[in-house]
Amino acid sequence: MTDKLTVSVLGTGIMGAAMARNLARAGHTVRVWNRTRAKAEPLAAEGAHLAETPAQAVRDADVVLTMLYDGPAALDTMREAAPALRPGTAWVQSTTAGLESLGTLAAFAREHGLVFYDAPVLGTRQPAEAGQLTVLAAGPAEGRDRVTPVFDAVGARTVWTGDDGATGAATRLKLVANSWVLAATAAAGEALALAEALDVDPHGFFDLIAGGPLDMGYLRAKSDLVLGDRLTPPQFAVSTAAKDARLIVRAGAENGVRLDVAEAAAARLERAAAQGHGDEDMAAAYFASFDDKPHS
CB 70 within 8 A of CB 243: yes
Greatest Cα-to-Cα distance within the chain, rounded to the nearest angstrom: 63
Burial class from Cβ neighbours inside 10 Å (0-12, 13-18, 19+) for residue 176 reads exposed
Cβ partners under 8 Å of residue 226, min gap 6: 189, 192, 283, 284, 286
| SS3 call for 96 | coil
The yes-or-no answer on residue 243 being catalytic is no
Please pick, among 39, 174, 222, 243, the residue that the annotation labels catalytic.
174
Cα separation, 98 vs 247, whole angstroms: 5
Strands 121-122 and 133-138 come out as antiparallel
Nearest C-alpha neighbor of 288 from the set 277, 274, 272: 272
Strands 90-93 and 49-50 come out as unpaired
Cα separation, 9 vs 33, whole angstroms: 7
| SS3 call for 111 | helix
SS3 content of the chain, % helix, strand, coil (to 5): 55, 15, 30
Residues serving a catalytic function are 174
